[in-house]
Structure 1
Amino acid sequence: MSELIEIEGFITCLTNARIPYTLALTGSTARGELRNNSGRYDYDSDTDILCIIEPDSISATLSCKKNYTHSIPLILMSACALSHPSNAVLSIAFDSLITNDLSLSKPDFTNTSTAEFIAYQLQPLAYYTSQLKYSKPETQRRLYSKIAITCLKLLYLTQHPNKRSFIYEQELKLQGLTNIDEMLVQKILNRDLPDTELRDATERLEHQVTQFASIIAAADFLESTRLYILDKDNYSKRIIESIFLENNKLKRSDTLFIEAA
Structure 2
Amino acid sequence: MSELIEIEGFITCLTNANIPHTLALTGSTARGELRKNSGRYDYDSDTDILCIIEPDSIAETLSCKREYAHSIPLILMSASALNHPSNAVLSIAFDSLINNDLNLSKPDFTNTRAAEFIAYQFQPLAYYASQLKHSTPDARRRLYSKIAITCLKLLYLAHHPGRRSFIYERELKLQNFTSIDEMLVQNILNRDLPDAELRDTAERLERQVAQCASIIAAADFLESTRLYVLDKDKYSKEIIDSIFLENNKLKKSDTLFIEAA
Tell whether the structures are fold-level matches, with TM greater than 0.5. yes
Deviations 1:15-37 (A, max 9, x none): 00000000000000000001000
Partner of 2:36: 36
Partner of 1:250: 250
Partner of 1:238: 238
Q: Secondary structure at the match of 1:40?
A: coil
Post-superposition shift, 1:260? 4.7
Partner of 1:99: 99
TM-score, with structure 1 as normaliser: 0.98
Quote the Cα distance in structure 2 between the aligned partners of 1:220 and 1:259: 35
CA 1:150–1:71: 2 relative to 1, 3 Å = same
Post-superposition shift, 1:179? 1.3
Partner of 1:125: 125
Deviation >6 Å, runs of 4+: none
Deviations 1:124-159 (A, max 9, x none): 000000111221111111110000000000000001
Partner of 2:203: 203
CA 1:219–1:9: 2 relative to 1, 3 Å = same
> One-letter code of the match for 1:85?
P
> One-letter code of the match for 2:90?
L
**Any conservation in 1 of the 2:126–2:239 contact (CA below 8 Å)?**
yes
TM-score, with structure 2 as normaliser: 0.98
> One-letter code of the match for 2:127?
Y
> One-letter code of the match for 1:195?
D
Quote the Cα distance in structure 2 between the aligned partners of 1:113 and 1:3: 37
Deviations 1:161-190 (A, max 9, x none): 000000000000012222111000000000
Q: Secondary structure at the match of 1:139?
A: helix
**Any conservation in 1 of the 2:86–2:120 contact (CA below 8 Å)?**
yes
Q: Secondary structure at the match of 2:74?
A: strand
Q: Secondary structure at the match of 2:109?
A: coil
Query: Is 1:109 the equivalent of 2:103?
Result: no
Quote the Cα distance in structure 1 between the aligned partners of 2:68 and 2:135: 25
> One-letter code of the match for 2:50?
L
CA 1:9–1:88: 2 relative to 1, 3 Å = same
Partner of 1:78: 78
**Any conservation in 1 of the 2:6–2:73 contact (CA below 8 Å)?**
no
Quote the Cα distance in structure 2 between the aligned partners of 1:174 and 1:168: 11
Post-superposition shift, 1:259? 2.5
Deviations 1:187-222 (A, max 9, x none): 000000000000000000000001011111100000
Quote the Cα distance in structure 1 between the aligned partners of 2:236 and 2:120: 17
Which structure 2 residue ranges, 5 or more long, are not aligned?
Answer: none
Quote the RMSD (CA, aligned, Å). 1.2
Q: How is 1:125-164 mapped onto 2 (pairs within 5 angstroms)?
A: 125-164=125-164
Q: Secondary structure at the match of 1:44?
A: coil
> One-letter code of the match for 1:100?
N
Deviations 1:21-65 (A, max 9, x none): 000000000000010000000000000000000000000000110
Q: Secondary structure at the match of 1:73?
A: coil
Partner of 2:166: 166
Q: Secondary structure at the match of 2:171?
A: helix
Quote the Cα distance in structure 2 between the aligned partners of 1:156 and 1:69: 43
Q: Secondary structure at the match of 2:192?
A: coil
Which structure 1 residue ranges, 5 or more long, are not aligned?
Answer: none
Q: Percent identity?
A: 84
Post-superposition shift, 1:106? 0.3
Quote the Cα distance in structure 2 between the aligned partners of 1:3 and 1:84: 27
Count of paired positions: 261
Quote the Cα distance in structure 2 between the aligned partners of 1:54 and 1:32: 27
> One-letter code of the match for 1:258?
I
Quote the Cα distance in structure 2 between the aligned partners of 1:69 and 1:25: 23
Deviations 1:56-95 (A, max 9, x none): 0000000110011222110000000000000010000001
Post-superposition shift, 1:6? 3.2
Partner of 2:214: 214
> One-letter code of the match for 1:152?
L
